[in-house]
Structure 1
Amino acid sequence: MAEMTGFLGSETLAFIDLETTGGNAIHDRITEIGIRFWRDGEKVGEWQTLLNPEQRISPFIEQLTGINNAMVADAPRFSEIADALLEQLDGAIFVAHNARFDYGFIKAEFRRLGRLFTAKVLCTVKLSRRLYPEHRRHNMDALIARHQLPAVERHRAMGDVSAMLAFFEHVIAEKGGSAVEEAARKLLKHASVPPNLSPDILSTLPECAGVYRFYGENDVLLYVGKSTNILQRVASHFSGDHGSHKAMKISQSLQRVEWTETAGELGALLLELKQIKTLAPLYNRRSRPAKKLVSIQLAENASGYLQAQLVRELEPHRLGDYFGLFRNKSEAERALKGIAAKNDLCNQMLGLEPVREGPCFQRTLGRCKGACEGREDVVRYNLRMQIAFHNLRLKTWPWAGPVALIEHNSVRQKIDILVIYNWVHVATLHDESELAELSLRGQSVAFDLDSYKLVVKALTGPEKHRWRVIELPTPSAPDILMPHSFT
């Protein structure tokens, strides 16, 4: 190969491949490392080792890689070769095929040792995409077949390194050193962008509040997120080192990014929740809707004692009569048990035991003052119940009808008018003139725990005075359909 100039002639490239026990850098471990060093058109060394992963290799991985548990039983642990590996990679550019995978595993191994590893990273998947944009597939098998590269022992570290370096040298011969150098330089500047995205994606993202959406193959929605700065938040996804298995899966699958700008953070939060619950992205779990929320209501029994009852049919105009919102019955019962233990309340009165003659279980332990046997003063017991449940009381809607919250971004000249009724986000408008034409007739919106918390905090919290609130006409019964079962 002809003598290289510029970047390719002065830098040492470390072509590296790992074999691992699985695809999760948090839980899985490295079983083999292979490195071949290249500078100025020549191979200048190599380094290879098996590693004891300190965990069992599954039969599937054994069959895939040919590395079995017996082969690594006496191999060194990563901690034993960490210093030697650092010495080998010192000053070199870390080159790998789907580099975020290999780089993420190396960083994770050093992190377990309480050490930091960083390097300049060049991904040959991205290099192939940049130099051969007319092709759809850029995995190693596709490259070997497309460029007629020599056959290697696939899924062994040095075999895959040989294929990767053969591709790199083939590209230099076919495209020329200058073209490869230019592409590599650009990729090193955009090393944090996943391989299936355009390297210029970050330059297109806005620096404002809004919601972003990640799509995978076949336009599958992978993830919905929000931020007060879409560019910074999306860039932070790309610059991570696969701190979780979910992050790694998203990065490997990501094909396209979309976004919607909002005027401020509340609009972004509410839009994010709405899209998570209606579009059901693959990797959003926390904010998916409960099938039916459960709350607690206090009502006097025949003896005048307040009893707790679980309720699933809530009336939106009576929210102040309910205590707590729980995603299921079990969650509500756990809350009741905590209240009973902390306040010496009666299990029977809290619905944790069937009402019967004789003391409740708390009473036998000396943790109930006798309401179950009629021994505690009714007024005193009811007062203790009200105090115990006070912090769980839901907020009554303080207006007669819907209100419009105005969120304005003067820099980008954007306005969001968030229409809220009974703590439910009903609609978002973008011009105050639209309020006059707003009709809530036929609207069907479900009460949602997450948006309830957001709106309550916005309208009753420390920053409530920053909102300009416009009261809207009170709708008549048919004008808005507020469900009695909350989700």
Structure 2
Amino acid sequence: MYAILDIETTGGKYNEEGITEIAIYKFDGHQVVDTFISLVNPERDIQPFVVNLTGINSKMLKSAPKFYEVAKRIVEITEDCIIVAHNSQFDYRILRTEFKRLGFGFVRKTLCTVELSKQLIPDQASYSLGKLTRALGIPVSDRHRANGDAMATVKLFKILLSKDIEKQIIKDNVKLDITKRLHNTHKTIIDGLPSITGVYYIHDDEGDIIYIGKSKNIKHRINQHLTNTSSKSKKIQLLAKTVTYEATGSELIALLKESEEIKRNKPKFNRTLKQTVFTHGLYSHTDNDGYIHLNIARVHSEDIPITTFSNLQSAKSFIHRVVEEYHLCQKLTGISTSKNGCFDYTIKNCAGACVLEESSTEYNLRVNQLIAKNSYANQNMIIIDQGREIDEKSVIYIENGTFKGLGFYDLNHQINNTKVLESIITPMENNRDTQHIIQSYLRRNKKVKTQII
């Protein structure tokens, strides 16, 4: 659990500042579960430059509660939480100073989104909250007010969590959480999970990830893990102490994250992924008459396939469908082995490429349309799919035919240049597994939007 906060102060000498406004969002890693926002009477003067910056003046604070009147609420909402702030060293120091004036100690673990951003979003021109949120397309209202800046930090922290592929932030938080509730039953674990699409992480009592999976219904899938009687499930059940998850909205995002994070984290109960999760590919060659032939063959390392398939049956189904859709020749696609015209030619469904009646130029035009639709080689494009929330979309970025990564963006913010796109995506490895996952998903989901950039 996290307490994401922002504090506005009077300014002045070090350790003599007073709080003028505080906003705290209690965040469970997915959504805000509690909120506290209040002006605070600092009982001291506000520096003129602070008044100009924040718009908060002494007149506004006359009837505001003094710090001792809100201290109990601050303790309650931050209890058992890691404090998160943009430049947390400052906010945490101010809070501790105020509690010290009351004669109380205030100790919490902290996370700084400035430091996290430098690690997870490198090469930014500036890491100030204003400039960083602009670069990432995060909408901000009430800049330099506690509520506006705290909410912007919540949105920034969500991006940082999704970019933390090695899950170090989650592991640290889980380890802290597990020590408080070592006697959790499996039913308690299941009851706390949602029925949503995403990636899930099963942790042991040290917070380490022992299994990673993806599902369209996380609650249902974890229930299967914790009730199944297979040998592997029983081993997981003995060690499982908690489950965390990451909502993805899109099944494609979940598939790609699962593949990448298993390779990175190497959980003990995930079998090492095979180098390929597919067996057959679609290949092409041009004959002496200039016609492009398509054929299905087992994937091999020498040639790069146009697209790949999980098994021979799905490859055959694909070929039969596209022959009909693109009016291709059965002989030139490997369906017919006739020495003369193909069967479709005899019933006037083939224009005669198999007997040189249709020109290679006209025939190849349709073949190339098929290839372009089922391969993103040499293309700069984005794939837009469902987001985690109604006002959000997921995006997958492909540059010059290479999968670069994925991310999420607010519907109110248009992705209009590659610089913004590169800032919001989580960089990921491009390999045959990711190519297969993307291509097969696009074949199965015709309504997914693709956009050339």
- TM over 0.5, shorter chain: no
Q: TM-score, normalised to structure 1's length?
A: 0.35
Q: TM-score, normalised to structure 2's length?
A: 0.37
Larger Rg: 1
